Chains A and B, each alone.
Chain A
Amino acid sequence: MNDIVEQSPAKTVLVVGGTSDIGRAVAAAYAGMGWTIRLAARDADAAERNAADIRTRSGEDHVTVHHLDILETETFAPFLDQLGDLPDTVVCVVGLLGDQERAQEDPDHAAQVIRTNFEGPALLLEALAQRFAERGHGLIVGVSSVAGDRGRASNYVYGAGKAGLTAYLSGLRNRLSDTDVRVVTVKPGFVRTSMTAGMDLIGPLTAAPEAVASRIASLQTGSADVVYVLRAWRLIMFIIRAIPEAVFKKLKL
């Protein structure tokens, strides 16, 4: 046996939205694979609560917390610089469901929903894509939503934001297709989280945050581009997209 074992340094994942239930589960899943975790959140104390949880469970000191507000786009470059090493993977789970009716009346609220779901994540992932491309490799995972597949009366402000993100990721993937930088769009469907607490979700179409997380962690290998966490959603959204607009506009979905 060889006495000197080459120990490759732990890989690093940046989880943007480290306070969300899905973000927490993603961080835990990567911690389980031995990765180093960087949690980014606007509320660093709340993210530290999740970081301490992960450290306590693994008994290792491999999680750091970083302040980032996804609406403060001018901070993205300095934020990435102060991270030190460029992460191997970024998973962006930031999002805001908002209140559709309020968004219809209050343009500031609508703008916040759109910017949180689209502008912020898109510009941050663009900055990362640039750096990944320079380095030569990297995995970019953007958490979008089936709500972005077609605009509906009940949540089109959110849906439009997610549609923007989905389109952005698709373009980024297209641009980087001949590099080793991979771009994956994840559409979770319904997930049992604080975002959906109190809502009546359809059991078989609803995933646990841990299921979303293990699907995301599994993206490290393979070649998926667009992922519906529960397969049924791919079919459902295929049908929903196929409905002619003349019919769709009358539907209450």
Chain B
Amino acid sequence: MKDLSGWGRYPRLSGPLDAALSADAAARATAQLPGLIARGLGRSYGDAAVGRDSTLDLTGLNRMQSFDPETGILAAEAGVSLADIIATFLPRGYFPCAVPGTRFVTVGGMIASDVHGKNQHVDGTFGDHVAWLMLALPDERVTRCSRDENPELFAATVGGMGLTGTILSAGIRLKRVETGWIRQITHPARNLTEAVALLRQSGTATYTVAWIDVLARGDALGRSLVLEGEHATAEQVRWGDLRFPPARNGRLGIPTDMPGWMLNATTARLFNEVYYRLGARKADRAILVPWDAYFFPLDGVAHWNRIYGRRGFVQHQCVIPEPKAEAVISEILDRISGRGAGSFLAVLKRLAAGSGLMSFPMEGLTLALDMPVSADLMPLLREIDALVVEAGGRIYLAKDATQSPETFLAGYPQLDRFRQLRDEIGVSSRIASKLSDRLGI
């Protein structure tokens, strides 16, 4: 038995973990193991990467297969990590077209969650840049899926949370970049309206994201730092700096669970305040930030999820479609700040529609909140979920540990087609995770 809890370490889950060291072995395991789900680096927060009966670790499928410098298409096994891809290809002038907030994720995991980056509103999700993938099914078939071959299965696998079978490898497109630096401009926003206005108007910037001080209240509700970023050109890099700086190896780490009391409304308020002031000091002028600090600020602190203590935490990420997005998010923030529930991280982003059948992104605004698990958390989340459902929004499965089947169904109307497709390819009873059981997929 292995601890298989997700990144939020809530709920605590354990089970047997089988490892596949080759594509053949992964295909065989997919055909043989019952109630199986694939697992990458376990960076999903809840129960998505834990099988009903068996879990298959694919991080041993870590070989790159080929790269075409003309098209930028990298063929790689599903367990290759984003960290590895960047370390290998950034020095050659290539960067992935979409990256999540941590680089310790796998190709398979990024496809299965159809992850979005800070540029999703202009460049689309990770799935939009997948040229093809090889999928192993329980009947021992390995099928190639793309927009031309098995297009329906392709669309269901992108964002399908591993529930269509095991992804063995994929062709993913990298884009050319001149440097490993990001030119960042920070705009302070005094409240949510200003933040949303900035996000909308910065529609031309490649990367945008707003960092919200969740504990600000009243007129300052939604006080934010809106960060815009562009890949810096070679001329913009300061003389004496490396054009492609390597990742800094974070020396910081959280060695054990922090006591629960360390994180409370007061420490969270302090943290938010300090962050806001530091950010505001850099306001409105461009600074150059190395790629890892810009895209993956938390990767510098190993095991940062331990700051929430033994009970773990929940990340709640919803998307609210226009035109009600701002109003509903304001309401959500109001309820949270009203409770004084400590939240270290709250991120607001603009999204465009995703590419898969079950992809999370839709045209609107997405809000992601980290909240430590406590007795009053669940009722609060129920309230928030009700607001999301009413607004026609949905909750991100890669982060989810708590939504109800009803909330899920309301948010993902394509579920019927997804279930039907699972039947057609013969995975319904074979491929199952704790998440699919909980939500009735």
Q: Which residues of A contact B (CB under 8 A)?
A: 46, 49-50, 52-53, 55-57, 59, 194, 197
Contact = CB atoms under 8 A, between A and B. Distances in A.
Interface in B211-253: none
A56 B65 contact: yes
A52 B19 contact: no
Interface string B56-95: 0000100111110100001110000000000010001000
Contact of B63 (A50, A59, A194, A197): A50
27 contacts: A46-B22, A49-B22, A49-B63, A50-B63, A52-B63, A52-B64, A52-B65, A52-B66, A53-B63, A53-B64, A53-B65, A55-B66, A56-B64, A56-B65, A56-B66, A56-B67, A56-B74, A56-B75, A56-B76, A57-B64, A57-B88, A59-B67, A59-B69, A59-B92, A194-B21, A194-B60, A197-B19
Contacts of B92: 59
Contacts of A197: 19
Nearest to B80: A53
Nearest to B92: A59
A197 B17 CA distance: 12
Chain A interface secondary structure, helix, strand, loop or mixed?
Answer: helix
Contacts of B21: 194
Contacts of A57: 64, 88
Contacts of B19: 197
A43 to B, nearest CB: 10
A55 B67 CA distance: 9
A32 to B, nearest CB: 11
Nearest to B21: A194
Nearest to B23: A49
A50 to B, nearest CB: 7
Contacts, number: 27
B291 to A, nearest CB: 19
Given A52-B66, A56-B67, 4 more contacts: A49-B22, A52-B65, A53-B64, A56-B65
B169 to A, nearest CB: 11
Interface string B107-130: 000000000000000000000000
A46 B75 CA distance: 17
Contacts of B67: 56, 59
Contacts of A194: 21, 60
Contacts of A50: 63
Nearest to A53: B63
List the 10 shortest-distance A-B pairs measured between CB atoms, nearest first.
A53-B63, A56-B64, A56-B67, A57-B88, A53-B64, A52-B65, A49-B63, A56-B66, A194-B21, A57-B64
Contacts of A52: 63-66
Contacts of B88: 57
Nearest to B67: A56
A234 to B, nearest CB: 27
Contacts of A56: 64-67, 74-76
Interface string B10-41: 00000000010110000000000000000000
Nearest to B75: A56
B419 to A, nearest CB: 36
A75 B92 CA distance: 41
Nearest to B19: A197
Contacts of B65: 52-53, 56
Of B21, B63, B67, B69, most buried by chain A (CB within 10 Å of CB) is B63
A53 B60 CA distance: 13
A32 B60 CA distance: 22
Contacts of B63: 49-50, 52-53
A49 B60 CA distance: 13
A52 B64 CA distance: 7
Nearest to B87: A57
A56 B67 CA distance: 6
A56 B80 CA distance: 13
A56 B89 CA distance: 10
A49 B168 CA distance: 14
A197 B19 CA distance: 9
A56 B21 CA distance: 19
A51 to B, nearest CB: 10
B183 to A, nearest CB: 28
Contacts of B69: 59
A194 B60 CA distance: 9
A153 B162 CA distance: 45
Contacts of B76: 56
Query: A46, A49, A56, A194 — which one has the most chain B CB atoms within 10 A of its CB?
Result: A56
A164 B65 CA distance: 38
A225 B22 CA distance: 35
Contacts of A55: 66
Nearest to B17: A198
A194 B59 CA distance: 12
A123 B407 CA distance: 68
B77 to A, nearest CB: 9
A52 to B, nearest CB: 5
B228 to A, nearest CB: 33
A59 B69 CA distance: 9
A50 B21 CA distance: 12
A73 B291 CA distance: 52
B227 to A, nearest CB: 32
A50 B64 CA distance: 9
